[in-house]
């Protein structure tokens, strides 16, 4: 997903304005003219000026329509699916790990992503199991990170 | 002397040495895989160092980055795919050497001159840092304000691609830094009622997202496979290096000096150092026509340069708390987490720690030679691990690493959000380094800016009243003017019948 310079400039300008407006509500240090709003306002002014500059430059270069160019991967259904799967797997981990535990959740994340990337099923499962145990032992046992446990796999901890 | 003895005692412990060795192996591995950068090696290492004492933690990062920068040359040489951006400058020469059966000579040159550059940079670090710290003790908020602005400006102006895009990246980082309650008025900003955001954007998950998750997503989207490795012949790794050193002593020295100096500049790191050194080498070479055809000269100079930069970048990081590149930006985050506030006072309060860091630097650059030899010999095996198996494992490491910082799933959410941001940024040629510097330096910029404004009663002139502040301020403004001057120069040349102004007018550097 590639924005052209005009659209990018517009987005930066709008972002700058949004930050500026939102920063108007921040309070100052009592008795001073500066406070929580100073920095966001400075960033906002910087962003707005940059946005304007980019818009003018794009217009001078002959661009008229804010546009979006689709990257090659967006035209391949496979690639789009892979990206969606990868992101969905992270969300799955966040949601599922606390209830089903680290080991099953991470196994699913790695094995499914490997299969999506066309790894042979046997290799994918074998490597995932190995990696999962190594990570669990390294972080859970050695570094004492409280990875979510599963009842039936308590012996690993 | 007792401080030095203490420092040695801190480093020469079996545990620390083991950490150094493992970090070296890890750095070699990550650096050798195309697409996985030295910064990513650091990002993945941080959650582990989180559980260590300061010395082993820093030792792990120093060793892993030095190794990764060298190891980035391996896929560059064998596959024509630079493992890290710092290796991109001389990839043509290295690959052509491989095609003419001189792969081991090329990699040997990278290795030996990387070590030379690294050791030179370390010597400069050891001598310059304490001296600069003396000066830095006298700095007030005005000097720090300009230093931060200088660092951020350099990060924008030297980033590959256009300056406008570097600025967008910086704005993203600075904005992310304003989130949370840690600001002059102590008011929650942009937290949307989320309790975890009150503490601000956690640095480590954000960085893992920007550098590692974005890379995983890019691989998943492209579905690219690693190409077959060139054979490259067996000429011996170290066999020709003595000849090379005798033939190109000036180049090795010049590369080390340039690299260290560029590294020491806040905001500019190994990538830029390598490009500039390669260009310098070509300009002053007796055989410039041979560059790009498998000539070892540029490799010598730029190879020394990028590792010199790795050491040089630590100078501003330790002395001022201002990172020299994205790796030291991560290091500064780690130091803060460990309760060590980088800055001149660290030289007074914990000198043994600083000396321990120096010793680690020497060790890392010395250990590089045998480890590098092993890596070169094992390169074909490392490179044959398919990315489709590696990337899911890396994604899992990212998840666990982001979780481990606060033991909270919110870290994973932040990681994936920043992963998508990083992915979109790269799709639009927006560099990531300025965003990371903005995120790290944002709070420091805000604090020094607001303090200075209150002290100066709103007058901008006060920012130029102290001599060092004035010098830094003028230098910073001069850097801002570079694109303008370049534009005018190009226009002038265009009018006088030279080359017409081609390409984006605000494009500089690599």
Comparing CB atoms, the residue among B187, B407, B427 nearest residue A2 is B427
Number of CB pairs < 8 Å for A and B? 170
77-106 in A: which are within 8 Å (CB) of B?
Answer: 78-80, 82-83, 85-87, 89-91, 93-94, 97-98, 106
Comparing CB atoms, the residue among A43, A114, A119 nearest residue B174 is A43
Yes or no: say if B315 and B324 are a contact pair by the CB < 8 Å rule: yes
Between B77 and A130, where is the model more confident?
A130
What is the share, in percent, of chain A residues with pLDDT greater than 90? 61
Region B432-453: what's the mean pLDDT?
A: 89
Comparing CB atoms, the residue among B48, B187, B221 nearest residue A79 is B221
Domains: count for chain A: 2
Angle at which helix B14-32 crosses helix B351-383, to 10 degrees, equals 40
- B182 has pLDDT over 60: yes
For residue A70, the 8-state DSSP code is P
Residues A111 and A150 in one domain: yes
Cα separation, A58 vs B416, whole angstroms: 32
Nearest residue of chain B to residue A45 (CA atoms): B171
Nearest residue of chain B to residue A32 (CA atoms): B454
ipTM: 0.93
Interchain contact A124–B (C-beta under 8 A):
yes
CA dihedral B170, B176, B181, B186 (to 10 degrees): 30
Structural domain boundaries in chain B = 2-495
B420/A46 CB distance under 8 A: no
Question: What is residue A115's predicted lDDT score, i.e. its pLDDT?
Answer: 95
Region B185-214: what's the mean pLDDT?
A: 88
Yes or no: say if B368 and B66 are a contact pair by the CB < 8 Å rule: yes
Kindly report the nearest CA distance between residue B185 and chain A, in angstroms. 5
In sequence order, what are the beta bridge partners of B162? B507
- B506 has pLDDT over 90: no
Structure token digits, residue B502: 């081609």
Cα separation, B468 vs B366, whole angstroms: 37
Contacts of B217 in chain A (CB under 8 A): 83, 86-87
Comparing CB atoms, the residue among A40, A50, A90 nearest residue B412 is A90
Question: What is residue B231's predicted lDDT score, i.e. its pLDDT?
Answer: 63
Question: What is residue B42's predicted lDDT score, i.e. its pLDDT?
Answer: 86
Comparing CB atoms, the residue among A33, A73, A78 nearest residue B458 is A33
- B507 has pLDDT over 50: no
B427/A1 CB distance under 8 A: yes
Region B456-464: what's the mean pLDDT?
A: 89
Question: What is residue A46's predicted lDDT score, i.e. its pLDDT?
Answer: 96
Question: Which one of A69, A104, A120 terminates a domain?
Answer: A69
- B279 has pLDDT over 90: no
Residues A21 and A37 in one domain: yes
Between B503 and B66, where is the model more confident?
B66
- Helix (H) or strand (E) holding A3, with range, is strand A2-3
Tokens 């309760």 sit on residue: B339
Comparing CB atoms, the residue among A1, A78, A116 nearest residue B424 is A1
| Secondary structure in 3-state letters for B326-353 | HHHHHHHHHHHHCCCCCCCHHHHHCHHH
Question: What is residue B226's predicted lDDT score, i.e. its pLDDT?
Answer: 61
Least confident of B262-276, B363-377, B386-400: B262-276
* Structure confidence by residue, pLDDT tens digits, B129-150: 888 888 888 888 999 999 889 8
| Beta strands A68-69 and A2-3, pairing class | antiparallel
Contacts of A99 in chain B (CB under 8 A): none
Cα separation, B361 vs A8, whole angstroms: 42
Residues A53 and A121 in one domain: no
* Structure confidence by residue, pLDDT tens digits, B476-505: 999 888 878 887 888 877 665 444 333 333
Least confident of A16-30, B7-21, B255-269: B255-269
In 3-state terms, chain A is what percent helix, strand and coil (to 5)?
70, 5, 25
Structure token digits, residue B457: 């009663």
- B382 has pLDDT over 80: no
Question: Which one of A69, A101, A116 terminates a domain?
Answer: A69
Yes or no: say if B295 and B280 are a contact pair by the CB < 8 Å rule: no
Interchain contact B190–A (C-beta under 8 A):
yes
Least confident of B177-186, B345-354, B497-506: B497-506
Kindly report the nearest CA distance between residue B222 and chain A, in angstroms. 6
Contacts of B416 in chain A (CB under 8 A): 87, 90-91
Cα separation, A90 vs A100, whole angstroms: 15
A78/B223 CB distance under 8 A: yes
Comparing CB atoms, the residue among A109, A128, A143 nearest residue B48 is A143
A38/B396 CB distance under 8 A: no
What average pLDDT does chain B have?
A: 85
Comparing CB atoms, the residue among A50, A93, A117 nearest residue B412 is A93
A36/B190 CB distance under 8 A: no
For residue B201, the 8-state DSSP code is S
* Structure confidence by residue, pLDDT tens digits, B215-264: 899 889 987 666 666 666 666 778 788 888 888 999 999 999 999 988 88
Residue B149: closest CA among B461, B459, B448:
B448
- B414 has pLDDT over 80: yes
What is the share, in percent, of chain B residues with pLDDT greater than 90? 26
Residues A64 and A80 in one domain: no
Tokens 């094992």 sit on residue: B378
Measure the CA angle with vertex A156, ends A151 and A157; round to 5°. Answer: 85
CB contact set of B336 (below 8 Å; sequence gap of 6+): B342
Q: How many CA atoms lie within 13 A of B260 on its CB side?
A: 23
Residue A26 phi/psi, 5-degree rounding, is -75, 145
Please, which pLDDT band fits residue B86 given cuts at 50, 70 and 90?
A: confident
For residue A15, the 8-state DSSP code is H
* Structure confidence by residue, pLDDT tens digits, B289-320: 888 888 888 889 999 998 899 889 888 888 88
Residues A56 and A111 in one domain: no
In 3-state terms, chain B is what percent helix, strand and coil (to 5)?
75, 0, 25
Please, which pLDDT band fits residue A86 given cuts at 50, 70 and 90?
A: very high
Nearest residue of chain B to residue A102 (CA atoms): B400
A36/B185 CB distance under 8 A: yes
Q: Which of A23, A145, A146 to mutate to test the interface with B (most CBs of B within 10 A)?
A: A145
Residues A94 and A41 in one domain: no
- Segments in B209-350 forming alpha helices (H): 214-222, 241-247, 249-264, 270-284, 296-312, 314-320, 326-337, 345-349
A145/B189 CB distance under 8 A: no
Question: What is residue B509's predicted lDDT score, i.e. its pLDDT?
Answer: 31
CB contact set of B16 (below 8 Å; sequence gap of 6+): B10, B55, B56, B59
* Structure confidence by residue, pLDDT tens digits, B111-135: 999 899 999 999 999 888 888 888 8
- B420 has pLDDT over 80: yes
Question: Which one of A50, A69, A88 terminates a domain?
Answer: A69
Between B76 and B477, where is the model more confident?
B477
Tokens 């209830």 sit on residue: A99
Least confident of A42-51, B266-275, B312-321, B400-409: B266-275
Cα separation, B188 vs B263, whole angstroms: 36
B392/A34 CB distance under 8 A: no
Question: What is residue B499's predicted lDDT score, i.e. its pLDDT?
Answer: 41
Q: Which of B163, B185, B443 to mutate to test the interface with A (most CBs of A within 10 A)?
A: B185
397-436 in B: which are within 8 Å (CB) of A?
Answer: 397, 399-400, 403-404, 407, 409, 412-413, 415-416, 420, 424, 427-428
- Helix (H) or strand (E) holding A68, with range, is strand A68-69
Interchain contact A40–B (C-beta under 8 A):
yes
Residues A62 and A80 in one domain: no
CB contact set of A155 (below 8 Å; sequence gap of 6+): none
Kindly report the nearest CA distance between residue B406 and chain A, in angstroms. 9
- The residue range of the domain holding A150 is 76-156
Highest mean pLDDT among A86-90, B23-27, B249-253: A86-90
Question: If 0-12 CB within 10 Å is exposed, 13-18 middle and 19+ buried, where does residue B363 land?
Answer: buried
Going from the C-alpha of A52 to that of each of A16, B173, B187, B480, B484, the distances in angstroms are 10, 20, 30, 18, 17
């Amino acid at each position: 997903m590639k924005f052209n310079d005009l659209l990018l400039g517009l987005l930066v300008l709008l972002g700058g304005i949004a930050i500026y407006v939102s920063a108007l509500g921040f309070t100052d240090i009592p008795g001073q003219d500066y406070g929580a709003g100073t920095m966001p306002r400075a960033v906002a002014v910087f962003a707005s000026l940059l946005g304007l500059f980019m818009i003018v430059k794009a217009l001078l270069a002959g661009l008229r329509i804010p546009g979006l160019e689709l990257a090659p991967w967006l035209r391949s259904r496979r690639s789009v699916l892979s990206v969606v799967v990868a992101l969905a797997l992270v969300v799955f981990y966040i949601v599922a790990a606390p209830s089903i535990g680290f080991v099953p959740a991470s196994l699913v994340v790695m094995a499914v992503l490997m299969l999506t990337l066309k790894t042979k099923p046997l290799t994918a499962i074998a490597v995932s199991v190995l990696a999962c145990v190594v990570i669990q032992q390294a972080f859970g046992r050695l570094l004492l990170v409280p990875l979510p446990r599963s009842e039936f796999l308590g012996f690993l901890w | 002397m007792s401080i030095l003895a203490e420092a040695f005692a801190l480093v020469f412990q079996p545990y620390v040495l083991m950490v150094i060795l493992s970090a070296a192996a890890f750095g070699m591995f990550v650096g050798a895989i195309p697409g996985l950068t030295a910064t990513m090696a650091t990002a993945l290492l941080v959650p582990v160092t989180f559980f260590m004492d300061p010395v082993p933690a820093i030792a792990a990062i120093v060793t892993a980055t030095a190794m990764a920068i060298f190891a980035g040359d391996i896929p560059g040489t064998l596959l024509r795919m630079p493992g890290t951006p710092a290796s991109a400058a001389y990839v043509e020469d290295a690959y052509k050497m491989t095609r003419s059966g001189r792969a081991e000579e090329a990699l040997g040159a990278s290795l030996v001159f990387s070590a030379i550059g690294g050791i030179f940079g370390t010597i400069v670090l050891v001598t310059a840092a304490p001296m600069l710290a003396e000066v830095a003790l006298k700095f007030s908020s005005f000097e720090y304000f300009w230093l931060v602005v200088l660092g951020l400006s350099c990060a924008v102006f030297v980033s590959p691609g256009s300056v406008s895009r570097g600025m967008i990246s910086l704005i993203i980082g600075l904005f992310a830094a304003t989130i949370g309650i840690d600001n002059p008025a102590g008011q929650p900003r942009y937290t949307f009622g989320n309790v975890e955001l009150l503490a601000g954007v956690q640095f480590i998950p954000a960085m893992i997202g920007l550098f590692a998750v974005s890379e995983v997503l890019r691989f998943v989207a492209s579905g690219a496979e690693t190409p077959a490795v060139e054979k490259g012949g067996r000429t011996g790794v170290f066999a020709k290096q003595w000849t090379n050193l005798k033939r190109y002593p000036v180049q090795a020295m010049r590369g080390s000096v340039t690299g260290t100096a560029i590294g020491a500049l806040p905001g500019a790191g190994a990538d830029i150092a390598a490009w500039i050194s390669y260009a310098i080498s070509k300009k002053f070479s007796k055989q410039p026509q041979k560059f790009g055809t498998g000539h070892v000269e540029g490799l010598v100079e730029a190879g020394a340069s990028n590792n010199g930069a790795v050491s040089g970048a630590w100078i501003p990081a330790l002395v001022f708390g201002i990172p020299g590149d994205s790796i030291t930006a991560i290091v500064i985050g780690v130091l803060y987490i460990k309760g060590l506030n980088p800055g001149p006072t660290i030289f007074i309060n914990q000198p043994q720690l600083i000396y321990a860091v120096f010793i680690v630097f020497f060790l890392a650059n010395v250990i590089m030679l045998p480890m590098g030899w092993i890596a070169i010999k094992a390169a074909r095996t490392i490179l044959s691990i398919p990315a489709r198996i590696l990337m899911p494992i890396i994604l899992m490491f990212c998840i666990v690493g982001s979780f481990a910082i606060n033991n909270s799933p919110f870290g994973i959410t932040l990681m994936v959000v920043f992963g998508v941001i990083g992915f979109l940024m790269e799709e639009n040629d927006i560099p990531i380094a300025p965003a990371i510097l903005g995120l790290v330096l944002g709070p420091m910029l805000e604090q020094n800016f607001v303090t200075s404004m209150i002290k100066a009663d709103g007058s901008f002139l006060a920012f130029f009243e102290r001599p060092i502040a004035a010098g830094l301020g003028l230098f910073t403004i001069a850097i801002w003017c570079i694109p303008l001057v370049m534009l005018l120069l190009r226009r002038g040349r265009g009018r006088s019948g030279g080359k017409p102004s081609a390409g984006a007018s605000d494009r500089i550097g690599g």
